[in-house]
């Protein structure tokens, strides 16, 4: 599966470093070559000898190693691999890459490399949840770093929660996915997802019940087929998928700007539940009750239609897919919507409360295209996403 591939494996300083020894064995078993890099802290947990014995190669440790610099140098070392894997990725290594620091061999390689990076974080749960680590994580994801784990569970330090390094088998699977030559390899796909929040005043906003689950699943499915995904998301309740470029927005106007900045793309999937209206007389300060018992008179302005704008943009993606959230006459309304907005396909669904689709884990959709309306059976949002991603891959191959 990984025959002919070379992995540059950076082993950071954490108790999980012992699992990286097993990962090396799995990688070798799958046919990959492993160039190991051990940080100073990593060498406190596993010995250079065990790492190089398992990898069957010299372990690189120092930035200024005269022999290394004479042989190939740290820059070349960063280029030899098909994928750079950081396991365990400590809070420190994540912080270094997020802020672009290059002060030892591992951080310099991460900054100098032109190959994709996969991180397997491992740290104490409080360190993982610390806003600083979460900020760094958001930056790394936005830069396109892929992530595997961390898992939730009992930790070596005795605490419980997210922060445990993914198991070596899961890391191997993530490496195989990252290196797979999927049908969307080399394609850029833009996905919008989640609700938008339209402020009333600095503390209140108008929103909708979209969780972002369907858009997130679509972005992950497209990524799994090899696409480079830009994921523009409103304030969703599910976390964004790993390994995609994440752009976070709040309002419809910000979403439009982010979408336009992300073009050109081969395809666009607009799964966001964009608010149709924003408050035109938004308060600069919190709106106070005036004692009269009268409700404030909110005035509304229509938001830009992002799907319609992209459908007629000069840099229009070859395939533009919209969604239609309807509560009645689903096919008729969605067919009219497709024509009105100028997109190629509409994925229509019935979001009446009794269907449990909005905020739920399942979806029942009708795909409306040139060829007419095609009903898909009710299935998990993940399966809808996979089926749609395959259809997108087919359409891009045929066009
Ligand atoms: N959409 C958009 N920008 C908007 C409103 C909607 O890009 N301002 C996109 C959604 O992401 C979705 C599609 O348009 O792909 C349809 O969204 P939907 O809410 O079903 O339609 P509306 O435009 O709100 O139409 P209506 O009010 O008639 O249902």
CA of 357 to the centre of ligand 1 (A): 17
Domains parsed from the chain with CATH numbers: 6-179 (3.40.50.1950), 198-398 (3.40.50.10300)
For the four alpha carbons of 149, 151, 155 and 156, in that order, the dihedral sign comes to negative
284: phi then psi, degrees, rounded to nearest 5: -75, -25
CB 4 within 8 Å of CB 30: no
Contact partners, residue 324, CB within 8 Å, separation at least 6: 330, 333, 334, 337, 338, 346, 347, 348, 349, 368
Distance of CA 82 to the CA centre of its chain: 20
Q: Which residues make beta-bridge pairs with 373?
A: 368
pLDDT at 348: 96
Distance between CA 365 and CA 350 in Å, rounded?
8
Respond yes or no: is residue 343 known to be catalytic: no
Q: What angle do CA 33, 34, 36 make, to 5 degrees?
A: 160
> Which of 72, 156, 157, 261 is an active site residue?
157
Distance between CA 349 and CA 271 in Å, rounded?
11
**Does any ligand 1 atom lie closer than 6 A to the CB of residue 303?**
yes
**Does any ligand 1 atom lie closer than 6 A to the CB of residue 33?**
no
Task: At 166, list the tokens.
Answer: 């993914």
CA of 139 to the centre of ligand 1 (A): 29
CA of 296 to the centre of ligand 1 (A): 27
390 exposure class (CB count in 10 Å sphere: 0-12, 13-18, 19+): middle
**Does any ligand 1 atom lie closer than 6 A to the CB of residue 272?**
yes
Task: At 243, list the tokens.
Answer: 């390994």
CA of 370 to the centre of ligand 1 (A): 19
Task: At 240, list the tokens.
Answer: 């964004």
Kindly report whether the global pTM for this prediction surpasses the value 0.85: no
**Does any ligand 1 atom lie closer than 6 A to the CB of residue 233?**
no
**Does any ligand 1 atom lie closer than 6 A to the CB of residue 324?**
yes
CA of 203 to the centre of ligand 1 (A): 25
- Closest approach atom of ligand 1 to CA 302: 8
Ranges of the chain whose pLDDT falls below 50: none
Q: Which residues make beta-bridge pairs with 339?
A: none
28: phi then psi, degrees, rounded to nearest 5: -65, -40
**Looking at ligand 1, which residue's alpha carbon is closest to its atom 24?**
276
Closest CA to 163 of 115, 128, 120, 203: 128
CB 273 within 8 Å of CB 193: no
Closest CA to 92 of 45, 46, 40: 40
**Looking at ligand 1, which residue's alpha carbon is closest to its atom 17?**
324
Distance between CA 148 and CA 150 in Å, rounded?
6
Q: Which residues make beta-bridge pairs with 320?
A: 268
pLDDT at 96: 97
pLDDT at 49: 96
pLDDT single digits (tens) 273-304: 999 999 999 999 999 888 898 888 999 999 99
**Does any ligand 1 atom lie closer than 6 A to the CB of residue 227?**
no
**Does any ligand 1 atom lie closer than 6 A to the CB of residue 46?**
no
- Closest approach atom of ligand 1 to CA 325: 20
């Amino acid at each position: 599966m990984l025959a002919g591939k070379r992995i540059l494996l950076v082993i950071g300083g954490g108790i999980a470093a012992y699992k990286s020894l097993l990962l090396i064995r799995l990688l070798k078993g799958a046919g990959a070559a492993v160039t190991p890099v051990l940080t100073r802290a990593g060498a406190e947990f596993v010995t250079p000898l065990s790492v190089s014995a398992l990898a069957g190669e010299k372990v690189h440790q120092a930035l200024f190693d005269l022999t290394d610099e004479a042989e190939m140098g740290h820059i070349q070392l960063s280029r030899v691999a098909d994928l750079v894997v950081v396991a365990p990725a400590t809070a420190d290594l994540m912080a270094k890459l997020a802020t672009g620091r290059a002060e030892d061999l591992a951080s310099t390689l991460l900054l100098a490399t032109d190959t994709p990076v996969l991180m397997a974080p491992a740290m104490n749960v409080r360190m993982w949840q610390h806003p600083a680590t979460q900020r760094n994580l958001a930056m790394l994801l936005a830069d396109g770093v892929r992530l595997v784990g961390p898992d939730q569970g009992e930790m070596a330090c005795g605490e419980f929660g997210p922060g445990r390094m993914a198991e070596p088998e899961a890391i191997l699977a993530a490496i195989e996915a990252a290196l797979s030559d999927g049908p969307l390899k080399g394609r850029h796909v833009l996905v919008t997802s989640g609700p938008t929040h339209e402020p009333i005043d600095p503390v209140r906003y108008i929103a909708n019940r979209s969780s972002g689950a369907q858009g997130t699943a679509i972005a992950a499915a497209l990524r799994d087929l090899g696409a480079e995904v830009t994921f523009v998301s409103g304030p969703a309740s599910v976390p964004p998928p790993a390994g995609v470029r994440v752009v976070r927005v709040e309002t419809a106007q910000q979403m439009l700007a982010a979408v336009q900045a992300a073009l050109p793309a081969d395809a666009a999937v607009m799964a966001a539940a964009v608010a149709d209206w924003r408050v035109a007389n938004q308060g600069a300060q919190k709106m106070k009750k005036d004692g009269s018992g009268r409700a404030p008179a909110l005035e509304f302005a229509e938001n830009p239609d992002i799907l319609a704008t992209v459908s007629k943009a000069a840099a229009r993606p070859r395939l533009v897919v919209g969604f239609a959230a309807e509560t009645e006459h689903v096919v008729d309304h969605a067919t009219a919507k497709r024509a009105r907005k100028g997109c190629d396909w509409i994925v229509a669904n019935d979001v009446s409360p009794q269907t449990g689709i909005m905020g739920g884990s399942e979806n029942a959709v009708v795909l409306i295209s040139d060829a007419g309306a095609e009903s898909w059976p009710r299935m998990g949002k993940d399966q809808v996403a996979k089926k749609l991603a395959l259809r997108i891959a087919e359409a891009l191959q045929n066009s």
